[in-house]
């Protein structure tokens, strides 16, 4: 009785072991080799959209006033807006613009050329401190507190003053490192080289 039990157990183990081995071999042989092409790289990057690599926040002040009109026109219709606020400016790379022409595959290398970073968006954070001194007639007939004009000027000044060479260089370096990290997931066996276009 014991012999039959152990014999049955041995047969069951052999069958189970054979099934596992066959399943492993079939699974191993059925694995598809992932082909990396320029198109797969472009598609994967474009799915990310705009890649923000640098954010700067600063407090900005502007004065907007009527300059060219006569003194009487300034008294009646002129205005002087004093405004300040906190502005956030974001830079990065638009990955949607990448094309197959930007990708070079050479043996074990993947070389990608990207455009330099650009401003993605800018916005005023929180409230704008606004003081608007308006001429007599302008105050009576034009109900405009100057908010939109002040907002536009604050953002413009922030973009002009924050985006210096150092920030530009740092944002480009971050873009290169982040894109290298992304490409390593797509092509782990390739040496990744990311270049900034000089056009």
pLDDT at position 61 is 85
| Tens digit of each residue's pLDDT (9 = 90 or more) over 101-110 | 999 998 889 9
Q: From residue 147, how far is each of 78, 126, 179 by CA, in Å?
A: 16, 13, 39
CA distance 94 to 76: 47
Q: CB-side exposure of 33: number of CA atoms within 13 Å?
A: 4
What does the DSSP 8-state code read for residue 1? -
Confidence grade of residue 86 (pLDDT, cut at 50, 70, 90): very high
| C-alpha span between 199 and 191 (Å, rounded) | 24
* pLDDT at 29 exceeding the cut of 50: no
Most confident of 11-20, 56-65, 118-127: 118-127
pLDDT in tens, 52-62: 988 888 888 88
Phi/psi zone of residue 86: left (φ > 0), alpha (ψ -120 to 50 degrees), beta?
A: beta
- Report whether pLDDT(177) > 90: yes
CB 64 within 8 A of CB 39: no
Whether the pLDDT of residue 28 is over 50: the answer is no
Question: Counting Cβ atoms within 10 Å, is residue 186 exposed (0-12), middle (13-18) or buried (19+)?
Answer: middle
């Amino acid at each position: 009785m014991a012999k039959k039990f152990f014999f049955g157990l041995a047969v069951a183990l052999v069958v189970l072991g054979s099934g596992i081995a066959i399943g492993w071999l079939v699974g191993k042989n059925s694995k598809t080799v992932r082909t990396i092409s320029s198109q797969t790289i472009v598609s994967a990057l474009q799915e990310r959209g705009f890649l923000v690599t640098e954010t700067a926040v600063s407090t900005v002040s502007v004065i907007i006033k009527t300059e060219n009109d006569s003194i009487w026109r300034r008294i009646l219709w002129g205005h002087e807006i004093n405004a300040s606020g906190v502005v956030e400016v974001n830079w990065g790379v638009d990955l949607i613009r990448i094309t197959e022409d930007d990708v070079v595959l050479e043996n074990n290398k993947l070389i990608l050329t990207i455009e330099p970073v650009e401003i993605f968006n800018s916005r005023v954070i929180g409230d704008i401190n606004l003081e608007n001194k308006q001429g007599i007639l302008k105050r009576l007939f034009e109900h405009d507190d100057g908010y939109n004009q002040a907002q536009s000027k604050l953002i413009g000044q922030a973009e002009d003053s924050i985006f210096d060479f150092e920030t530009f260089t740092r944002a480009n370096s971050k873009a290169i490192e982040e894109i290298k990290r992304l490409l390593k997931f797509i092509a782990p066996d390739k040496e990744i080289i990311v270049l900034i276009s000089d056009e």
